[in-house]
Amino acid sequence: MTRSRLLLIILALLIGLGFALWLVTSLTQLYTQLAAVSATLANLVVGSVVALLVGLLVALGYYAYLFLRPAKTVRSHVKVPLDRTEAAEVNLQAVQQQVEQIQDEVTRQALIDRSREIAQNMARGEFRVVVFGTGSAGKTSLINAILGLGVGDIGAAMGTTTQEKTARFLLRGVDREIWITDTPGILEAGIAGTAREQQARQLAASADLLLFVIDGDLRRSEYDPLRSLSSIGKRSILVLNKADLYSDADLQAILQQLRDRLRSVLSPADIVAVAASPQPFTLPNGERVQPQPDILPLLRRLSAVLREEGEDLIADNILLQSQQLGDEARQILDQQRLRQAEKVVERFQWISAGVVSVTPLPMVDLLAAAAVNAQMVVELGRVYGCEMNLDQGKELARSLAKTLISLGVVRGTVEIFSLALQTNAGTFVIGRAIQGATAAYLTRIAGKSFIEYFRRNQTWGDGGISEVVQEQFQLNRRDEFMKGFVKEAIARVVEPLQNKEG
């Protein structure tokens, strides 16, 4: 309790006490005066005053209780993820729902399989560590040193490891098994190297924790992947291998340089030096010495990181994978919707052409009647999961029509088709044909603009409706497109008219 609050309470108590004293004195006085006249009257009056005061106090207390009692907690229906594991679960469920909407059987199945794999990963019991880095930096040697045996080929030339290989081991103090995966080195020459490099990068992206191995100062080709992996939230330990090749002073200088340079990417403790497979040397007396691997700094750090952050690393990794799957599913869904929406626009553009060319109307009515079609808006909305009624469709269609007119798109389109059709069709159907083709084209611009509107979650974006319309007009007036469109307009609008006339 704060001091000021305590003072306030004492003050209130003092005032209350003063008031009570005054009340008792006044009542006693009243009683004495009345008792002089009649004892019954005194009892009655003072009794009623006291009863009234008690009632008042009870009422006051009750309202104070109502006012001051703690508000009932409203139970929230939205489930807020408690920790990273739960966040990963929630995200994966959302992604699975998205995947279900994909129509293409093969794609859907592939993504469902991947989402199941991620779900299974959630229940797995091991840490996955991936060893990644330049060819010949000593990745395979490092794993051998950790395991204390030879599991992979080691070679002086780059590209010795061509296939990923996973081994398991336990580390004191870490309760889960550790699966360590060797990868082909990055930066290899030749096509095979590139494909292997791709494989290595994918493995790196799927790790709970990365051991990024280098064997000297950091090259640009190492810095870039390290930074980009860290930017997607991948946790790494940078392992400077071949420490035996440097003097102590040089080694400290390189480490310091690395720690300074990578300050924004890695914490200094996550940069360690080891000698996975130190080279033998000859003593002055001619004796050959084969030094033991020195990987203690790495084991210490690995154990600390896995103990302190291990559970979060697994959850983060699962979250990352399900986010990536979600991005992919969203892109596929967007493409799928776009194809459906374009079919809708295609259908409506020739419907309006047909309607307009048989019942020609003045230009502005033409727009209202056909070019910008409310039904099309409703159907496009449906493709994007936005249910709207015909009135809402009309409202949107009307504002788009106004934009088309005010931007001069209608006039421009009439001019384009007057010119195109005069050179391509007979003169006697020209008026109707121009109107029909114009209607088709304007419906297209409108339809494409609406697609943008729905894709952006029913907003026109910062530039507003006119920017979207203008952009679609620019995109749809390119020469190659126009040629095809005019040809189709002749086949679908002009020829039926000519046949009818003839």
Taking the complex as a whole, the smallest distance from the CB of residue 219 to Mg ion amounts, in Å, to 18
Q: Which stretch binds Mg ion (CB under 5 A): 135-143, 199-207, 319-327, 355-363?
A: 135-143
Q: Which one of 140, 144, 403, 449 is in contact with Mg ion (CB under 5 A)?
A: 140
**Bridge partners of residue 209, in order along the sequence:** 129
294 DSSP 8-state letter? B
Q: Which stretch binds ligand GTP (CB under 6 A): 13-21, 133-141, 333-341, 439-447?
A: 133-141
161 binds Mg ion (CB under 5 A): yes
**Binds 272: which of ligand GTP, Mg ion, none (CB < 5-8 Å by kind):** none
137 binds ligand GTP (CB under 6 A): yes
Q: Which one of 121, 140, 181, 373 is in contact with ligand GTP (CB under 6 A)?
A: 140
Radius of gyration of the chain (CA): 40
Is 185 or 310 the residue whose CB approaches ligand GTP more closely? 185
> Which regions of 144-245 does DSSP assign to beta strands (E)?
165-169, 177-182, 209-214, 236-240
Q: Which one of 106, 156, 191, 289 is in contact with ligand GTP (CB under 6 A)?
A: 156
Is 139 or 234 the residue whose CB approaches Mg ion more closely? 139
In whole angstroms, what is the distance from residue 183 CA to residue 198 CA? 10
Q: Which stretch binds Mg ion (CB under 5 A): 154-162, 312-320, 353-361, 366-374?
A: 154-162
183 binds Mg ion (CB under 5 A): no
Q: Measured between alpha carbons, how far apart are the two ends of the chain, in Å?
A: 99
Is 37 or 149 the residue whose CB approaches ligand GTP more closely? 149
214 binds ligand GTP (CB under 6 A): no
Kind of pairing between the strands at 165-169 and 126-133: unpaired
278 binds ligand GTP (CB under 6 A): yes
438 binds Mg ion (CB under 5 A): no
Residues in the chain: 502
Residues 232-261 that bind ligand GTP (CB under 6 A): 241-242, 244-245
Q: If binding means CB under 5 A, how many residues of this protein chain bind Mg ion?
A: 4
Which of 354, 397, 355 minimizes the C-alpha distance to 378? 397
In whole angstroms, what is the distance from residue 152 CA to residue 115 CA? 32
Name the amino acid, one letter, at 332: I
DSSP calls for 67-102? HHSPPPPPPPSS----SHHHHHHHHHHHHHHHHHT-
Taking the complex as a whole, the smallest distance from the CB of residue 143 to ligand GTP amounts, in Å, to 8
In whole angstroms, what is the distance from residue 464 CA to residue 446 CA? 14
Is 89 or 215 the residue whose CB approaches ligand GTP more closely? 215
Is 141 or 181 the residue whose CB approaches ligand GTP more closely? 141
154 binds ligand GTP (CB under 6 A): yes
Q: Which residue is nearest to ligand GTP (CB)?
A: 185
Q: Which stretch binds Mg ion (CB under 5 A): 85-93, 159-167, 425-433, 448-456?
A: 159-167
380 DSSP 8-state letter? H
**Binds 358: which of Mg ion, ligand GTP, none (CB < 5-8 Å by kind):** none
Q: If binding means CB under 6 A, how many residues of this protein chain bind ligand GTP?
A: 25
In whole angstroms, what is the distance from residue 47 CA to residue 41 CA? 10
Measured on CA atoms in the order 57, 58, 62, 63, is the torsion positive or negative?
negative
- C-alpha distances (whole Å) from 17 to each of 12, 29, 104, 170, 386 are 9, 18, 82, 74, 68
| Dihedral pair phi/psi, residue 130, rounded to 5° | -115, 135
259-264 own/partner pairs: CB under 8 Å, 24+ apart: 261/218, 262/218, 262/226, 262/238
Which tokens belong to 443? 């419906």
141 binds Mg ion (CB under 5 A): no
Contact of 226 with 337, CB cutoff 8 Å: no
Taking the complex as a whole, the smallest distance from the CB of residue 191 to ligand GTP amounts, in Å, to 16
326 binds ligand GTP (CB under 6 A): no
299 binds ligand GTP (CB under 6 A): no
Q: Which one of 92, 138, 325, 403 is in contact with ligand GTP (CB under 6 A)?
A: 138
Taking the complex as a whole, the smallest distance from the CB of residue 303 to ligand GTP amounts, in Å, to 20
Name the amino acid, one letter, at 395: E
Which tokens belong to 135? 């060819």
Residues 164-193 that bind ligand GTP (CB under 6 A): 184-185
In whole angstroms, what is the distance from residue 60 CA to residue 54 CA? 10
291 binds ligand GTP (CB under 6 A): no
**Binds 317: which of Mg ion, ligand GTP, none (CB < 5-8 Å by kind):** none
In whole angstroms, what is the distance from residue 375 CA to residue 393 CA? 7
In whole angstroms, what is the distance from residue 149 CA to residue 419 CA? 81
Residues engaged in binding ligand GTP (CB under 6 A): 135-141, 154-156, 158-161, 184-185, 241-242, 244-245, 275-279
Residues engaged in binding Mg ion (CB under 5 A): 139-140, 160-161
